[in-house]
Amino acid sequence: MQRLLSSSRYLVIIAVIGTFIAATTLLIYAGISIVQQIIDTIMYSTVTAKGAKALALGFIENTDIFLVGTVLYIMSLGLYELFIDDTITLPEWLVMHSLDDLKGKLIGVIVVVMAVVFLGHVVTWHGETEIVYLGGAIGIVIAGLTYFTGQKKKE
């Protein structure tokens, strides 16, 4: 039974492969989307304030896709390192010794993703809604995540 349970950690390879494929797909998709957006801008757009706003929004949306891809990549590496092989060579900032380390890294990237999402809403905002509520909600979530991370570091 002990051998079976010990070997079961390799089941996490399913999550490692899944998150790695998802990260790769998102990163390639966002890269292609950026190139397509640049080509479309050069070939079909006119230089206007409205066009610049649309271009900026497209880049922000693609940045959001890159960030989500990065989150999935960090999850893939972290799960692999924690469950399969802790001798993998990674930069010091990406080395994880526990699930709390992985959660901390993910929370940092999640905060950035939320900020980019809010920025995307700000860029497209035309005054028809109260954007302050969205900003406040994101701020509360970020404050909660920061508090959670701070409590874990104290322990």
**pLDDT confidence bin for 32, thresholds 50/70/90:** very high
Would you say residue 155 has pLDDT above 70? no
pLDDT averaged over every residue in the chain:
86
Q: How far apart are CA 131 and CA 113, in angstroms?
A: 17
Q: Where are the domains of the chain?
A: 2-154
Q: How far apart are CA 108 and CA 149, in angstroms?
A: 9
**pLDDT confidence bin for 104, thresholds 50/70/90:** confident
Which is more confidently placed, 138 or 155? 138
Would you say residue 21 has pLDDT above 90? yes
Per-residue confidence (pLDDT) for residue 153, from 0 to 100: 66
Q: Choose among 33, 23, 1: nearest CA to 109.
A: 23
Per-residue confidence (pLDDT) for residue 99, from 0 to 100: 83
Would you say residue 57 has pLDDT above 90? no
Using CA atoms, how far residue 132 sits from 96, 129, 136, in Å, is 37, 9, 6
Would you say residue 3 has pLDDT above 90? no
